[in-house]
Structure 1
């Protein structure tokens, strides 16, 4: 009788809540200056991406440009993100934004966004950097768009 009760308890015991999120096969990436996501330009962008990730289950990651903050140096990092299957790559910072046009031409299937400057193109969206609400709204929309 005890064995039957034990088996019934095991069979009908509720499944525990999952401890980890099961993310979609989609990633939104952020390229920043050497300050990373703690920088004043990148922090609100990362906050918006993280929030959108929690609701849409799109993975987010960032990469900080080390060394000289030049477009040439940022291009190497931007190419790395474009090659790592990022569906959207967001660039924040003068050097990072300046690197986008050349890299975007090389990766037409990847969507790029620049915050606070840049030139729009077929796969490049320019997000004005003045309004925190605009940045948050556009970055959230871009990240969630990868969810399908």
Structure 2
């Protein structure tokens, strides 16, 4: 009887055949890498190792430094920039005509604006030149969310001084330049002394008014910082 030698199933032979090229390529790659390392020599390999280590160290250091910098960054307190501050001037019907007290106040406001980048504007009281008429114009400024209100002239100062206690978040700078209309006794007294209280600052009319207004506006803006 002739004994037949069995052959493996076709599927197993095919699997073996497919695996052979993969092992062959892997073996070839390992041999190539080994030969390449042998050609480089020990000194070159050491240099490459050091270079890789340095690159890795720099990357890790940069990562931790960036995290530390983020941790040291002060939190946003929500403080407004001086560029977001509005300083508004309320004047009599003559506005900021040359030679008026309001003109000096306006010049001081512009000087402060150049240094702080705060926005400045001026509005004249139209119609009745009295504290009641000035109060209507003043209410318009307050509705515009003016952060600093400067008032020049008797009626404007009186209206602003009366409104100040009702608007504690607004800073008032009052200058009574002897304009027409009734004056507030308190305003005149404090203007002579150059003193103020609470959210009111009185500026003294005179040759140094421009510089005084500029300095007062800058200090008020810095305090709001």
TM-score exceeds 0.5: yes
Q: 1:121 to 1:83 in 2, by over 3 A?
A: farther
Give the TM-score of the pair, scaled to structure 1.
0.76
Q: Decide which structure has greater helix share.
A: 2
2:218 corresponding residue in structure 1: 144
Q: When the two structures are aligned, how many residues end up with a matched partner?
A: 124
Q: Decide which structure has greater strand share.
A: 1
Q: What is the rounded CA distance, in whole Å, between the counterparts of 1:121 and 1:100 in structure 2? A: 13
SS in 2 for 1:36: coil
Give the TM-score of the pair, scaled to structure 2.
0.51
Tell me the alpha carbon deviations over residues 74-126 of structure 1, each in whole angstroms, 9 at most, x when there is no partner.
00111211221211111001110111222112111101111137154411111
Q: What is the rounded CA distance, in whole Å, between the counterparts of 2:139 and 2:119 in structure 1? A: 19
Unaligned ranges ≥5, structure 2: 1-81, 178-186, 191-195
Match of 1:127 among 186, 191, 203: 203
Match of 1:25 among 84, 90, 104: 84
2:144 corresponding residue in structure 1: 84
Q: What is the rounded CA distance, in whole Å, between the counterparts of 1:143 and 1:111 in structure 2? A: 9
Moved over 6 A (4+): none
Q: How does 1:52-131 map to 2 (within 5 A)?
A: 52-116=112-176, 118=187, 120-129=196-205, 131=206
Tell me the alpha carbon deviations over residues 117-138 of structure 1, each in whole angstroms, 9 at most, x when there is no partner.
7154411111111x221x2232
Contact 1:104 1:110 in 2 (8 A): yes
Q: What is the rounded CA distance, in whole Å, between the counterparts of 2:215 and 2:142 in structure 1? A: 19
RMSD between aligned residues? 1.8
Greater relative contact order (CA < 8 Å, ≥ 6 in sequence): 1
Determine if the alignment matches structure 1 residue 51 to structure 2 residue 127: no
Q: What is the rounded CA distance, in whole Å, between the counterparts of 2:164 and 2:152 in structure 1? A: 15
